[in-house]
Amino acid sequence: MGFLDKYASQILGITRIMAGLLFMAHGTTKHLNFPPSGMHPPLASLGGAAGVIEIIAGALIVIGFYSRPAAFIASGTMACAYFIAHAPQNFFPVLNRGDAAILFCFLFLYIAAAGPGAFSINKK
């Protein structure tokens, strides 16, 4: 698909923004009840700490400010979330509902390696 090569930086930037917004939504539903959900973990719990990371790292990833370290931390958070919360329920990601955590983990790992792409505040 060589015809997309000239748009690679823009596609990476849009992918980074969308992934960051989706990641941030997981944190805002935990701590700000937006969108409303029944999940409200205590701030001092693993879920509460994950929610803080989701909000802060998600926002940094969206705006492209220190997106590489933020994406690396987000990737590790999702790896931990998968092995702590999802994997013990069932071996298969579709059945343990951990497929989103796996996708976030590897997508953020890629962003940490590749950089933010276009539309970022800084290129680091």
Tens digit of each residue's pLDDT (9 = 90 or more) over 17-51 = 999 999 999 999 999 999 999 889 999 999 999 99
**Distance separating alpha carbons of residues 4 and 62, to the nearest angstrom:** 22
Reported pTM: 0.94
pLDDT over 90 at 123, yes or no: no
Is the four-CA dihedral 101, 102, 107, 108 of positive or negative sign?
positive
Buried b (16+ CB within 10 A) or exposed e, 10-20: eebbeebbebb
Domain ranges for the chain: 7-114
**Distance separating alpha carbons of residues 1 and 100, to the nearest angstrom:** 27
